[in-house]
Structure 1
Amino acid sequence: MLGGEINSTDDCMPSSGIGQGDGSCAIGTAGWADQPVQRRLMVMRLLREHIASQSSQLAAACSPHAGRTRRESLVAEVLPLADACQFLQSHARRILRPQRFGRRSGPLWLGALSGRIERRPWGRVLVVGPSNYPLLLPGVQVVQALVAGNEVIVKPGRGGGPAMIALASLLAKSGLPPDIFTVLPEAVSSVDDALQAGVNKVVLTGSLAAGKA
């Protein structure tokens, strides 16, 4: 989920980001995508600090709709989201950096050719969240996509709007540039509107039937 993967030989490395399959540049993410990974991870570090300092408020934002107490939401959603930010701080640079392969490490049929695997942002990512874990599940997908340099739009599950709005507020306080993260209304029609406006990747938590719908 962190980023799109490009397999190429050294002589034919594409110069543009991944678009919608037509070679076009990723839409709406040029400024954020051009930031070094370290800069994006700085936002995650500050976000983790804000999650810790405002954990009670975050738990309160998702508890009534998920059918859990604040304490249960703190353990089931808030703390794991902070842990996801810590994971990115520790591992995102390694995951996202280019990987070279040559004669010894590449497939036998490539012979003496060498190449590189380079991860680039998808562009605009739509996250369709569930209602049972309104903060954790879409939140983890959001921070992963942001660290990879994507613009993110999230459609909360039923009752999940307050949790996502709270996350958006903390991201803004952490230094995320405006218009990189957008929270849509909870209505299902918001997904149709976003798809018509144009997205490069959809992340859905739900059943096959929900995905087809």
Structure 2
Amino acid sequence: MTSANTLDQPFYRETTLARESLAASARESVRDRLRWVRQFREQVAARYPEIIAAIQADLPRLPQELLASDLLPTADACRFLEQSAEKLLKPSRMPDRHRPIWLMGERDTIHRRPHGIVAVIGTWNYPWFLNAVQIVQAIVAGNAVLWKPSELAGTSARLLHEMLVAAGVPANRFQMVPAIRENGAKILDADIDFLVFTGSVGVGRQIATRLAQRLIPSILELSGCDSLFVLDDANVEMAAQATWFGTTINKGQTCIAVRRALVAESVIDRYLESLRSLAADHAPWPLAMASQREQAQRLIDDAVAQGARLLEPVRTAGDRSMSPAVLVDVRPEMAICREATFAPIVAVLRGQDDADLLKQQSQCAYALGASIFTADATRAEAIAQQLPVGMVVVNDALVSAAHPATPFGGRRESGWGTTQGAEGLLAMTVPQAVSHKPGTFRPHYQIGEGESVPALERMLVGMLRSSHGSRLSVRMAGMWQIIRGMMQLGKSMPKAKSDSAAHSGQ
């Protein structure tokens, strides 16, 4: 828990109510919380036209895309929790075989306790899936949530909040603050215990700095500049289609979009021909913000100035619309291979062999995801082992990131922590070990008294030898030392009263 809430802290009323709601949450079972998860999941299926309309009111997207990228993954994530959360959050008794001899008789249990108040600073590009999974996991784990939605997704945020509360989530346990940019900064100074942020690396770095001053832990789901490998034995046509899909899904406004295609020299001509047929005469798409197109144009101009070329001309309209851009003859030191962008743009690099492709891939500081196209599963595994990313997909792109049971998260410039699957649920908790010691025999109390206790030393040496001796004879001798030491200590130690004896003597 953080320090006591004070009137001058932001969102004092909301965090006070949230803190009060935690007492009721502690009395609930996980099964109690899962009842409203099911209610919410079923309402997602029943009210999908209303949800689609709300998301489209914020940002125009096709219904088929919203069903695939937001609604289905949200419902599946809820069902995963219904199937798994109770077992995952159940107290775990430590097996006797793991208990060292010097803790003989002790019973140890690991409990998963909630952080307390979890702040969620939400995103806009997948406004239901990315926000709902984080919120639902936090509350199922026993936390209260303070949510600051994106200012670009206010309509869908209001509906998400309304549906979760209607499903049974107590209103004080899930509170939404106004979706304005200033509240993202304010929430960092509120009485919170944990924070989840999805957004750019620049903002993520500022958040990490602020939270570090208060020692508040966090999950940061940050930007990506993901790579797609096309090896010399790949299905080249499918790899080109996957590149196009991974570059253009949600108009390129995806953190795990394909930004770099690393293609074997022997198949690059076929690959580019397939990609050209997809990119030809494409109409411009509107992006969420003009700054996205401005950055994309800067990266294109920089790459072309250094010798890259566009596979097809880029068409623009207004101040924020552009057609997808494919750049070829790109080198890994160019800015387009080192910056995260939120536009439909991909750079194609060529390499002589797997080692060359891996070397070019490693020159980018982002480490979110990657795809590998090859007919050889063993070869794919060998490459995946060398990629410091949170997710690798073989012979596909992106969609596996929404698997409800797998973790999702990045490394290096792409952030830390996970927000999906078992690992994502457990990240919303802290482990607490509870150890029960029977009886009154406590020889270790004499260790720090400043005087030598030969019997205690003999017993400890016996424990070391009996547990870790290299030969049976050494281990047996150690057991004898333990017995002798315990007998001698039992005679010399003052007798501690048991609880029942102490009370009867009062």
Report the TM-score, using the length of structure 2 for normalisation: 0.36
| Counterpart residue number, 1:126 | 119
Instruction: Tell me the CA shift for residue 172 of structure 1.
Output: 1.9
Q: 1:208 is matched with which residue? A: 201
CA 1:110/1:50 → structure 2, altered by over 3 Å: closer, same or farther? Answer: farther
Which residue does the alignment assign to 1:169? 162
Between the aligned partners of 2:181 and 2:148, the Cα distance in structure 1 is 8
- Indicate yes or no: 2:9 matched with 1:27: no
Residue 156 of structure 1, CA deviation? 1.3
2-side partners of 1:191 and 1:33: how far apart? 28
Cα 1:164/1:109, change in 2 over 3 Å = farther
**Match of 1:94, SS?**
helix
Superimposed CA distance per residue, residues 28-86 of structure 1 (whole angstroms, 9 cap, x where no aligned partner): 32112321111100010111111111011112222354442122112210111011110
1:91 aligned partner, one-letter code: S
**2: CA distance between counterparts of 1:103 and 1:40?**
32
Aligned runs of 1:1-213 on 2, under 5 Å?
A: 19-20=1-2, 27-28=19-20, 29-105=22-98, 112=104, 114-213=107-206
Aligned amino acid, residue 70 of structure 2: E
Amino acid at match of 2:125: N
CA shift in 2, pair 1:109/1:197, >3 Å? farther
Quick check: 2:58–2:154 contact (8 Å CA) kept in 1? no
Summarize the Cα distance change of 1:212–1:42 in structure 2 as closer, same or farther, 3 Å threshold.
Answer: same
Q: Alpha-carbon deviation of 1:110?
A: 7.6
**C-alpha contact (below 8 Å) 1:56/1:74 kept by paired residues:** no
2:123 alignment partner AA? P
Q: Is the 8 A contact 1:46 1:174 kept in 2?
A: yes
When Rg is computed on C-alpha atoms for both structures, the one with the higher figure is 2
- Ranked by relative contact order (alpha carbons within 8 Å, sequence separation 6 or more), the top structure is 1
Instruction: Confirm or deny: 8 A CA contact 2:135 2:145 kept in the other structure.
Output: yes
Distance in 2 between the 1:210 and 1:109 partners?
50
Moved more, 93-102 or 62-71: 62-71
AA of the residue aligned to 1:20: T
**Stretches (4+) displaced over 4 A:** 108-114
> 1:135–1:160: 8 Å Cα contact kept in structure 2?
no
* SS of match in other structure, 1:104: helix
**8 A Cα contact 1:153 1:182, kept in partner:** yes
- Aligned residue for 1:209, secondary structure, equals helix
Distance 1:71 1:117 in 2: 44
Q: Residue 7 of structure 1 corresponds to which residue in structure 2?
A: none
Distance 1:192 1:101, change over 3 A: same
Letter matched to residue 180 of structure 1: R
The alpha-carbon deviation at position 109 of structure 1 amounts to 9.3
Structure 2 distance, partners of 1:71, 1:208, is 30
* TM-score, length of structure 1 as denominator length: 0.80
For residues 110 and 69 of structure 1, do their structure 2 counterparts lie closer, same or farther at Cα, with a shift above 3 Å needed?
farther
Structure 1 unmatched runs, 5+? 1-18
Q: Report Cα offsets for 1:13-35 as digits up to 9, x if no partner.
A: xxxxxx2389xxx9332112321
Cα deviation for residue 111 of structure 1 reads 5.9
Check the 8 A contact 2:118/2:146 in 1, yes or no: yes
Q: 1:148 to 1:180 in 2, by over 3 A?
A: same
In structure 2, distance between residues paired with 1:193 and 1:185: 11
Count the aligned residue pairs: 191
Q: Using the alignment, how far apart are the partners of 1:20 and 1:110 within structure 2?
A: 35
Contact 2:3 2:191 in 1 (8 A): no
- Which residue identity is paired with 2:40? L
Unaligned residue ranges in structure 2 (runs of 5+): 5-17, 207-506
CA distance in 1, matches of 2:102, 2:176: 45
